[in-house]
C-alpha cells in the first residue's frame, strides 16, 4: 500500500451572522504520521455559543493531541481515546457553566478526526457533517443528530413535499449536543476507515449545507488536485455565491490525501496556508481567547 501524505486547510466565514460561533483547531504538520482536527459549532440562538464551542474544541483537541503523541497507541486505543476525550470536554464545559464562564445550556456540536497511517478515525455529536469524497462520489460518513433525518423520512413517506422538508423550521433542531449534561447520541465507529490516494475528507459546520451535496461534490472535484487550500477556499466561496439571506457561520477543514511519490500541489497563497502550525500556537490562542473577558460586565461565579 502506498504511503499517504495528508494535507489540511481550515477556513471560516461569519456568513450573515453577527459573530462567529464556530471553532476549529487542526494540526497536520508536514511529514508527521498523525494529523488531528476538531470542529465545534456553537448552538445558535443560545447565549455564549461562541465560548462553548471554544471550550469543546480546545479540550477535545488537547486530550487527543497528548493521547496521540504516540501514533501507534492512538491506532490501538482510538475506540477508547475518542469517547474519553469527549467526556472530558463535556465535563469541562459543565465546570465552566458552574463557575459562570459560560451560561447554563450553552453547548455545541463536535467532530474530531485523526488521520494516522492512512486511516481515518472520528467521533461526532450533533449535525456538523463529515464527508468523504472518493472517485467522484460524495458520502456523508457521520450520523446527523438532528430533526433532519425524521423530516426526510416524512418527505419520503409523502407526509411532506420536498420543498417543505428542505425549509422546515425544525430541520436543524439538534437531538444530541455537547452541553455539559448527558450526551444523548455519539457516533464513534470502532474501526478506522482506510483512506486512498485522491481522497478528500471534509469537516464542516452546517453552514456548508446551504449547498446541496451535488454542488459540494462538484466544487471538490474541480479543486482537489490543487490541494486542500484551494478546496477549502472554493467551498467557502461557493457558499458566499449562494447568497442565502440567513446564511449561518460556515467553517471547513479540507483534508486531501496523496501518495508520497506524487508531486506536491502548487504553493498556497499566504492568506490560506495549509494547517502546519504547531499545537502550542494554535491551541494557545484559543485558550487565551477563552480566558480573556469575552464581554464587558463578566458574570459572577455561581454558588
Supply the CATH number for residue 158's domain: 3.60.40.10
* Contact partners, residue 209, CB within 8 Å, separation at least 6: 129
d(CA 208, CA 270): 24
275-288: per-residue pLDDT in tens? 544 444 445 555 55
Per-residue pLDDT, 3? 86
The set of cell numbers assigned to 183 is: 450526551
Residue 230 lies in a domain: yes
Residue 72 lies in a domain: yes
Side by side, the strands of the sheet bearing 130-134 are: 4-13, 250-259, 200-204, 130-134, 137-140
* Contact partners, residue 148, CB within 8 Å, separation at least 6: 127, 171, 172
Per-residue pLDDT, 279? 43
The DSSP result for 64-124, as a single string, is HHHHTTSHHHHHHHHHHHHHHHHHHHHHHHHHHHHTTSS-TT--B-EEEEEEETTEEEEEE
d(CA 164, CA 126): 22
Question: Among residues 283, 237, 296, which one has the least CA distance to residue 63?
Answer: 283
> Cα 203 to chain center, whole Å?
4
Residue 299 lies in a domain: no
Q: How many domains does the chain have?
A: 1
Residue 297 lies in a domain: no
Per-residue pLDDT, 280? 44
Residue 302 lies in a domain: no
The boundaries of the domain holding residue 102 are 4-291
Quick check: 1 and 7 in contact, CB under 8 A? no
206-236: per-residue pLDDT in tens? 999 999 999 999 999 999 999 999 999 999 9
d(CA 266, CA 112): 28
Residue 303 lies in a domain: no
258-271: per-residue pLDDT in tens? 988 777 776 555 44
Using CB atoms within 10 Å of the CB of residue 245, give its burial: 0 to 12 exposed, 13 to 18 middle, 19+ buried: exposed
**Residue 289: pLDDT band with limits 50, 70, 90:** low
- Paired strand residues for 39: 24, 111
d(CA 60, CA 179): 14
Amino acid at each position: 500500500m502506498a504511503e499517504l501524505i495528508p494535507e489540511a486547510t481550515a477556513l471560516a466565514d461569519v456568513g450573515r451572522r453577527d459573530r462567529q460561533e464556530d471553532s476549529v483547531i487542526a494540526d497536520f504538520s508536514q511529514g508527521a504520521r498523525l494529523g488531528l482536527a476538531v470542529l465545534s459549532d456553537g448552538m445558535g440562538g443560545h447565549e455564549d455559543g461562541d465560548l462553548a464551542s471554544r471550550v469543546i474544541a480546545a479540550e477535545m483537541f488537547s486530550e487527543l493531541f497528548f493521547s496521540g503523541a504516540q501514533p501507534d497507541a492512538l491506532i490501538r486505543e482510538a475506540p477508547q481515546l475518542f469517547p474519553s476525550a469527549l467526556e472530558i470536554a463535556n465535563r469541562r464545559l459543565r465546570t465552566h457553566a458552574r463557575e459562570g464562564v459560560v451560561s447554563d445550556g450553552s453547548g455545541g456540536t463536535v467532530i474530531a478526526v485523526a488521520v494516522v497511517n492512512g486511516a481515518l478515525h472520528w467521533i461526532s455529536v450533533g449535525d456538523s457533517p463529515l464527508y468523504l469524497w472518493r472517485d467522484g462520489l460524495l458520502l456523508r460518513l457521520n450520523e446527523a443528530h438532528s430533526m433532519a433525518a425524521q423530516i426526510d423520512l416524512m418527505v419520503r413517506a409523502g407526509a411532506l413535499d420536498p420543498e417543505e422538508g428542505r425549509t422546515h423550521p425544525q430541520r436543524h433542531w439538534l437531538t444530541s449536543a455537547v452541553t455539559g449534561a448527558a450526551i444523548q447520541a455519539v457516533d464513534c465507529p470502532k474501526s478506522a476507515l482506510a483512506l486512498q490516494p485522491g481522497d478528500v475528507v471534509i469537516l464542516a459546520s452546517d453552514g456548508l449545507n446551504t449547498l446541496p451535496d451535488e454542488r459540494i461534490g462538484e466544487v471538490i472535484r474541480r479543486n482537489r488536485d490543487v490541494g486542500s487550500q484551494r478546496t477549502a477556499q472554493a467551498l467557502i466561496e461557493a457558499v458566499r455565491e449562494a447568497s442565502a439571506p440567513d446564511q449561518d457561520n460556515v467553517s471547513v477543514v479540507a483534508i486531501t490525501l496523496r501518495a508520497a511519490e506524487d508531486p506536491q500541489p502548487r504553493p498556497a497563497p499566504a492568506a490560506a496556508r495549509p494547517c502546519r502550525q504547531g499545537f502550542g500556537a494554535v491551541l494557545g490562542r484559543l485558550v487565551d481567547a477563552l480566558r480573556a473577558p469575552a464581554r464587558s460586565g463578566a458574570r459572577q461565579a455561581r454558588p
